[in-house]
Structure 1
């Protein structure tokens, strides 16, 4: 890589050359490889250079599917004048938040503390020791240029105050991080009911979901509500869940042609999405819709679950068997270019008569629901499935000829673990072998490539694993996926591998109070050790590990794992009850504790059968199911559970107390319904 050195000592890119990011494993970082900014990746080289030059670090954090990240890149990072300011006065560091969630978490806390809000792109100014002293999100080009000049002047003229401000931020964040922990007891059933009642009070009765615009899919909260309503048979909780699932599936946030969900709706009515599609959203929502289908029998739930699973396999699967992180929000720099339709575009594809019918079916109007007279596709009411499928097939074929959004094809451990769990369940519940095969292939990839010397790495790309170490959510979510594979296949290797990962989590991530840190005890030391117990877009590291520990305990009878999972939930129990929208995964896991756990062991149905099908269809929320031969090696749930009169039998236990085995579908149905 050819470089020349400016008088100030900074390196700049020659025309047609690339900067340090060209060799990154992150597609997001590679998007900036031809910027005139002399970017560094996060690491000691960057901080050493800042100390040598005695200049601040300019930290820019984003991700590949982020619309405003692209806007700031085009406006500022591709601008020679802005790049010259950055190169002269700062050491500039670019971070992919998906590859380094630990760095993102630490500096997002600082950004939120300083500005009152967060988001991406995130821009932080740091001392050469990593302490933030100025933070923000998106800055327009002219504002950004003035900011750089002002920061450079302050650094030169009032260094002491700048450094002191950074230290004050670090001290305040250290104290603030303790506010969300400190609980000592698991939520009682009364407290779980209180949390559910709080959610009912926050429910948007007109549009479904919670809160106003922008509106995010509350997959983990819905999982909690499904479990809570099953426990106490509360019709109001069922209504909240049903209305939200229905509204999301009918709105523009759901891709009515290709399946799969966009990241969020920019409005309160689920009409206009922010068009990026994230693996983690679709994995979580696929599993949630599966569970909604199991308890409701909704045909809409089944269709959306199948279409979302198909979307994962068709659009996100990588050649190595993993799943790509995301599809971009933009196509050729324009949001919605691939997805939105005008009446004229419908007519061009379908002809006038069918275009009118499609406009009615999918809510396409003359004025448009999106930009420039175009509309996102919705499904306001049910129509003849044959009509819908015909229109959908023809429009999807035409849409496939349009420019398509870019794909971030890095394979993130945690998100792929969530996908493994969802697809394994879908494969069994729908008797769809290709879903289960995809889950198995992904599980093998994650263990074979992402596990290095027994420890997890965060991500890979094109089959090559990156250097970033796995964080707590990687261990918890992958263990969750492997435990689902064990239940789906009765293969002991998945249970053993999950146990190994959870033992590492207990050894390396445990906090003194019983919760879990986001990073291992031997991870890179940042300005503070990140620990965010809230379930936001994905399960928190702590709740992911806790939930997997409890599932592992239910499958093995391990009191050590059960106690560790319960302690982790107790640490956040009090705040979770008060703020349930931000602790859905923890509350769902706590419901599993309240339920028993429920364990179903089926013997004598190799390869599946009517008892296994019944158990998976009617299993209470949070229950575990394993079907195999009696006393199968490495499968504790099948130990000491013999055949009955030489035939297949199902053993149902709750809270470590077992019913007599049953041998008919009717008896198993009655037993399972009695435990819900």
Structure 2
């Protein structure tokens, strides 16, 4: 979906690096996305300049990568925004980085990098610290991890405008979820701000972020991952408050995902910003007559798993059959087209298969199918198959790598992303509780412990790490329901106001065979319950 340019772009691969080595020139890596306005602008101006294109073609090997399609390349080389303009040695080490460059800036950088490489050769490159091979500092998994992150909530919360931080405001859905149990008013005020400033009231869904502290300067791209995680966060806020102010944005986000982003079999990856405020300020009729934003309908594994998880959470709280129907369709797509013996393919499109076994995809898929087990009584087997493969393929030295340590450039160097490890640890806690297999919990504990020595340096952006630690130190509220999914008792269990709980349907057939049919037990409370009201009482006893 890139603009036509005069640059002779190569695909990412060993051939491009081999060519750079043979010619003794650097590689220019351009990381772009379909939803990035500056990416298209740079194609239309900088890369369209014939002199710049000729300079690039003569003195570099130019490589173009779609950052959404290649998450492992993105995580290693992105320069903090898109486009990322990254200059590499023929071994893939980093010489220099920038984001968008106007023609004059690009001319200067091209000359400087070429001179640097001519003078220093491969010594001009460096390996980013995260890829240097050092393991994160391990430590004990104890209550201090949650306490430190809960303290960060207060320190970083913007009392005036809500959200965390004092510059650009990203929605930080997982941080809001962490705060729902620990600093609820902060969480609700932040979700209020997200709803008031980033929610599209016409077509539903949420915009990517706001460039200013006061939630102004909205960046209007709508990304699947952003919308899926916010859908779940608003659904959780609804189960705590019962207020339509949180249910309605979640419901309209379902409209967006299942209409504007629906590919026919699953949810597409993104909708671009279009003409910015001019487009998004129009009503539905005005938008229909305007030029439509670029839409990428590639159905990525991780984003769709996040969407299924969120749709099923919403279904569990509301009985919304449409949410369940689309979640079922997504899960079918994942299981049929993207999961192979536990391995997960990032996407398939017109015979093309994306990269395999990225940690973010694997963690999201395990999370989606454990959610499915809790809400519709199916999924633990798929979750276990994917989790087993992830543990075997990616878990070593106490934590998960972001994917197979193989490929050109720096792809063969292990990267251990904290957010991906936290997401997988949380999913494994759910899976251990649903299956009764404590090996999953032990892997989760080892994974959280692998980063615990530096937990005091972890910020609110990765608050899900605190959630995982908390659920390992204090077992999550677990409700074993010896009844079918959808029964009154099961529905009541799903609606208990604790979004970190685990609900086990048909528990009389699995982890609680002693339970009489039609009863439920709150783990840790001896007396079972036979109706929703009694169940609420048992939950209160446990708390």
Say whether the 8 Å CA contact 2:177–2:233 is kept in structure 1: yes
SS in structure 2 at match of 1:411: coil
Name 1:317's counterpart in structure 2. Answer: 262
Task: State the shift of 1:120 in Å.
Answer: 1.5
Q: Residue 486 of structure 2 aligns to a residue in which SS?
A: coil
Aligned to 2:344: 456
The TM-score, its normalising length taken from structure 1, stands at 0.76
CA deviations 1:547-596 (Å, max 9, x no partner) are 11111001111111001001111222343444331321111222222441
Aligned partner of residue 396 in structure 2, secondary structure: coil
Match of 1:45 in 2: 15
Which aligned pairs between 1:114-129 and structure 2 lie closer than 5 A? 118-129=80-91
Select the residue among 125, 130, 141 that pairs with 2:103.
141
Distance in 2, Cα, partners of 1:93 & 1:547? 37
* Maintained 8 Å contact 2:308/2:327: yes
| Residue 57 (structure 2) aligns with | 87
Aligned-pair Cα RMSD in Å: 2.1
Cα 1:316–1:187 change in 2 (3 A) is: farther
Residues 452 and 53 of structure 1, relative CA distance in 2, 3 Å threshold: farther
1:549 is aligned to 2:495: no
Give yes or no for contact 1:580–1:587 (8 Å, CA) kept in 2.
no
Q: Is the 8 A contact 1:221 1:580 kept in 2?
A: no
Q: 1:106 to 1:521 in 2, by over 3 A?
A: closer
Per the alignment, residue 123 of structure 2 pairs with 164
User: 2: distance between equivalents of 1:150 and 1:480?
Assistant: 47
C-alpha distance 198-85 of structure 1, shift in aligned 2 (>3 A): same
| 1:431 maps onto 2:356 in alignment | no
Q: Which residue of 1 aligns with 2:159?
A: 205
Show structure 1 runs of 5+ residues with no match. Answer: 1-29, 112-117, 230-236, 342-394, 535-539
Residues 179 and 187, structure 2, Cα contact 8 Å, conserved in 1: yes
2:364 is aligned, of 477, 486, 489, to 477
1:641 aligns with 2:515: yes
Aligned pairs for 1:268-287 (under 5 A) are 268-287=213-232
State the TM-score, normalized to the length of structure 2.
0.94
Q: Which residue of 1 aligns with 2:2?
A: 31
2:532 aligns with one of 638, 641, 665? 665
Residue 18 of structure 1 aligns with which residue? none
2:278 aligns with: 337
CA, structure 1 residues 248+489, in 2 after alignment: closer, same or farther (shift >3 Å)?
same
Higher mean C-alpha deviation, range 397-406 or range 271-280: 397-406
Deviations 1:193-234, CA, capped at 9 Å, x for gaps: 33212211211111110112311012111111123x3xxxxx
Looking at structure 1, the residues matched to 444 and 400 of structure 2 have their Cα atoms a distance apart, in angstroms, of 10
The answer to whether the 8 A contact 1:479-1:499 is kept is yes
Whether 1:487 and 2:374 are equivalent positions in the alignment is yes
Q: Which residue of 2 aligns with 1:73?
A: 43
CA distance in structure 1 between the partners assigned to 2:128 and 2:99 by the alignment: 22
Looking at structure 2, the residues matched to 629 and 597 of structure 1 have their Cα atoms a distance apart, in angstroms, of 16
Task: Describe the SS at the equivalent of 1:625.
Answer: strand
- Which of 467, 473, 481 pairs up with 1:602? 481
8 Å CA contact 2:434–2:511 kept in 1: the answer is yes
Q: Work out the CA distance in 2 between the residues paired with 1:564 and 1:607.
A: 29
* 1:600, distance to aligned residue in structure 2 (A): 1.4
Residue 529 of structure 1: CA displacement? Answer: 2.1
Does the CA-based 8 Å contact 1:50-1:91 persist in structure 2? yes
Deviates more, 1:452-461 or 1:130-139: 452-461
Secondary structure in 2 matching 1:99 = coil
Deviation at 1:172, TM superposition (A): 4.9
8 A contact 2:26–2:88 mirrored in 1: yes
- What are the equivalent positions in structure 2 for 1:378-397 lying under 5 Å apart? 395-397=283-285
